[in-house]
Amino acid sequence: MNALMLASDITKRPVVTLGGEAVAQVRDVVFDGHAGRVSGFTLSGRGLFSGPLRQALPWEAVSSLGPHAVMIHDETAFESRDEVADSAEAANGHVLGARVLTDTGTDLGHVTDVVIEVTASQALVAGYEIAPAKSLGPHGRTVFIPLARTIAVSGEALVVPAAVADYMMDDLSALEKAIPEFRSRMSGKEA
């Protein structure tokens, strides 16, 4: 089963062993920008005064990512924070705040969150939540756009095909329904 979720909704989710012990909580989602996938999570301790941990959780060690917790076999799943986070940062994994521009030069807005498609074996970037540019309509609301497979990402801008503008959706369920048609269109097939 595939599910769409926002990266911001995953933060603060408990990390729980299959034995039922809550061992950490998600601090940040770490992305591999080139591969378009989640590479892992930085962690913080459990409790009010707990700070960041020196350990992180690589995606490969996640048993499942559900609506209420991240499940792992046990604490041996943790790795050095540097091994999980540094590789993604080197791949320019930062997109929050980046301007979204079409390949025809239209400003769609700026990225406010990342939409993740979680399957049984991986977590892929499926799209973005954006605050639309003033020229596109009422300001102050957010919309969702699907991720194009071929995309340019820098710290300042996300360049997407102009067709993305045809698939701007008001909610995640509408985006989930639109993604297969968008992917088909981008692969050269008409849905």
Q: Could you give all domains of the chain from N- to C-terminal order, each with its CATH number?
A: 3-90 (2.30.30.240), 99-186 (no CATH)
Spatial CA neighbour of 125 closest among 99, 96, 105: 96
Q: How far is CA 62 from the centre of its chain?
A: 16
Say if residue 125's pLDDT is above 80: yes
Residue 161 burial by CB count (10 A; 0-12/13-18/19+): exposed, middle or buried?
middle
Query: What mean pLDDT is predicted for residues 107-127?
Result: 90
Quick: pLDDT tens for 48-61.
Answer: 667 888 899 999 99
pLDDT classification of 3: cutoffs 50, 70, 90? confident
Quick: pLDDT tens for 65-97.
Answer: 988 999 999 989 999 888 887 655 544 446 788
C-alpha to C-alpha distance for 72 and 37, rounded to whole angstroms: 19
Residue 81 phi/psi, 5° resolution?
Answer: -60, -40
C-alpha to C-alpha distance for 121 and 62, rounded to whole angstroms: 9
14-17/70-72 β-pairing: parallel
